[in-house]
């Protein structure tokens, strides 16, 4: 899997929730942790765990994904970058 592979519904929902700074009402379940670590592996979030608390935050790439709908490293959109820079 590439960093720029499409996100599944759970990953995208978690990324959007983190972008909106929404706190979860309940503790994270195993599926949310898997989604969070998949996002981390793609460089979209950072995760810190301490004393049972989870602190997940968007990176610049995560913010870019929310704004543009794709990973900034996605080669399918590389021509868009070159065109925008000219």
CB 45 within 8 A of CB 56: yes
- pTM value surpassing 0.75: yes
Amino acid 80: pLDDT: 53
Return the domain boundaries, the chain: 9-85
Query: Looking at the domain that runs over 9-85, which CATH code has it been given?
Result: 1.10.10.10
Extract the tokens encoding 32: 């949310």
Which tens digits make up the pLDDT trace of 56-74? 899 999 999 999 999 888 8
Nearby residues of 71 by Cβ (< 8 Å), 6 or more positions away: 3, 4, 42, 43, 44, 61, 64, 65
- Residue with token string 């909106």: 20
Extract the tokens encoding 80: 């868009």
User: Quick one: what percent of the chain has pLDDT higher than 90?
Assistant: 48
């Amino acid at each position: 899997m590439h960093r720029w592979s499409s996100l599944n519904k759970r990953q995208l929902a978690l990324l959007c929730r983190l972008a909106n700074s929404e706190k979860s009402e309940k503790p994270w379940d195993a599926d949310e942790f898997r989604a969070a670590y998949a996002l981390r592996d793609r460089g979209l979030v950072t995760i810190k765990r301490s004393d049972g608390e989870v602190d997940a935050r968007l990176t610049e790439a995560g913010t870019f994904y929310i704004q543009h709908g794709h990973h900034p490293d996605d080669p399918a959109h590389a021509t868009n970058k070159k065109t925008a820079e000219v």
